[in-house]
Amino acid sequence: MKTVLDKRKIRALMHRQGINTQKKLAQKMSITENQLSVILSNDFSPLKTSTVKLMDILGQDVLDAITIKKQDLSHKKTNVNPAFPDGTIDVTKIKPKSQFNVLELFAGAGGLALGLEEAGFNDVGLLEFDKDACQTLRLNRPNWNVIEEDITKVTSDPKGVYNYIPKGTEIDLLSGGYPCQAFSYAGKKLGMEDTRGTLFYHYAKIMEQVKPKMFLVENVRGLTTHDHGRTLKTMIQVFENLGYKTTYQVLNAWDHGVAEKRERMVLVGIRNDLNITFQYPNKHDYKPVLKDVLQDVPDSAGMLYSEAKRKVMELVPAGGYWRDLPEAVAKSYMGKSYYSGGGRTGMARRISWDEPSLTLTTSPNQKQTERCHPDETRPFTTREYARIQSFPDSWQFSGGVGSIYKQIGNAVAVNFGKEIALAIINSLNQTV
């Protein structure tokens, strides 16, 4: 049984909401007009394959069984902590009133570090294990204290991180994005011991040692739902046990001066003895797209498609993806994925000049995560990757091509990091 969206009913619903054009509807949905046209086409099924199969067996009355179930939020803890008032702040004119020190863990290639620096923070140490990323940091900032070490070795020593930074250094901010890992829940204590064996445990141990005024964690959106939310709940409990009040939100880098749809969870904590407040930065009125950031990009190395893949991608228009391919080509290219549920909009995806990039991954030519140039049939080059992630052209990367893609894909977008950093400086200014 085939299911499609009734365009007449969609237009009536648009009129009811005061939306007069598909362009305006696409903007509200944060998608391109091309993507919206695909959704409204007679070839697009709004229902998952399994639901359509259910209709084939039981008939279209299955649709009558679809109900809207409102989420019961009564059991959820409401954030009434005065340290985190509602609303956002304009960070454009914020400047540090004093020198604020930051210690960064899992520093990577320096996206967050550069954003922190541009906001006005003083880096006292950047801990990173990957040798190419460490060399990238040293290449660009010879004066930075790059700590090339396994964090587990740092925390296992009685002196801890003070083996690498001067004893007594006041840490205003501890930052870093540790990998998301499950916990044991031994005894369901939701404490530090439940997190042993994870890199979060070592982040928390360093926090326990240096007792920063504030801390920042940037991580994937999926952390908020990982293991049904229990992973994040454990982390927050550990932070609270260490003497911090916390708040978190999922933010999109596209709202903060980055030409990329990149959703990240941003968790911020304030030490309990400090009577200060924190608010997240305002969203930008204008959100950049590829044509804003990919002009006059310096030449650089980049991966190429295989000849077979290039022939497929040649058929995809800017802003399009696998649904724009001839059916026979799409079936051959996608294999079993062609018949699975979901939109799979990252497959055979060519970005247009008038939209932001999808989230950059650590490899630009994998079948599930293509990021094809708008005009040329190739992945973005490493320098284009860096531009999209808002790195300046002066920021150089060490290592081979694969390593550079990985460093940039794993990085915090610089402009995004800077705006979060400025919001934190606004809080730290209250301590001066």
Does 188 map to a domain? yes
Cα–Cα distance between 235 and 341 in angstroms, integer?
A: 33
243 and 112 both lie in a single domain: yes
pTM of the entire structure?
A: 0.81
Residues of the chain with pLDDT under 70: 1, 30, 34-35, 38, 43, 48-49, 52, 62, 68-80, 181-190, 341-343
309 and 259 both lie in a single domain: no
Does 1 map to a domain? no
pLDDT of residue 185: 54
Does 50 map to a domain? yes
Does 78 map to a domain? no
pLDDT of residue 75: 45
165 and 268 both lie in a single domain: yes
pLDDT of residue 302: 95
258 and 118 both lie in a single domain: yes
Identify whether 180 is a catalytic site residue. Answer: yes
> Per the structure, how many domains does the chain have?
3
Nearest to 243 by CA among 212, 216, 266, 267: 212
Does 84 map to a domain? no
Backbone angles phi and psi of 346, in degrees to 5: -85, -10
159 and 268 both lie in a single domain: yes
Structural element, H or E, at residue 315: none
CATH of the domain at 312: 3.90.120
Backbone angles phi and psi of 337, in degrees to 5: -60, -25
pLDDT, one tens digit per residue, over 169-187 is: 999 999 999 887 666 554 4
The contacts of residue 404 (CB under 8 Å, 6+ apart) are 132, 301, 382, 385, 397, 398
Contact call for residues 295 and 393 (beta carbons, < 8 A)? no
CATH of the domain at 191: 3.40.50.150
Does 421 map to a domain? yes
276 and 153 both lie in a single domain: yes
User: And the tokens for 72?
Assistant: 């019961």
220 and 108 both lie in a single domain: yes
Contact call for residues 123 and 102 (beta carbons, < 8 A)? yes
Does 174 map to a domain? yes
How many C-beta atoms surround the C-beta of residue 46 within 10 A?
12
203 and 335 both lie in a single domain: no
Domain that includes residue 14, residue range: 7-65
pLDDT of residue 47: 73
| Cα 76 to Cα 71, 79, 264, 268, distances in angstroms | 11, 9, 22, 19
Query: Among 91, 114, 146, 180, which one carries the catalytic annotation?
Result: 180
β-bridge pairing 122-128 and 146-148: parallel
224 and 181 both lie in a single domain: yes
210 and 315 both lie in a single domain: no
The contacts of residue 306 (CB under 8 Å, 6+ apart) are none
356 and 373 both lie in a single domain: yes
Does 198 map to a domain? yes
333 and 419 both lie in a single domain: no
User: And the tokens for 172?
Assistant: 């205003």
With 0-12 / 13-18 / 19 or more C-beta atoms within 10 angstroms meaning exposed / middle / buried, residue 301 is exposed
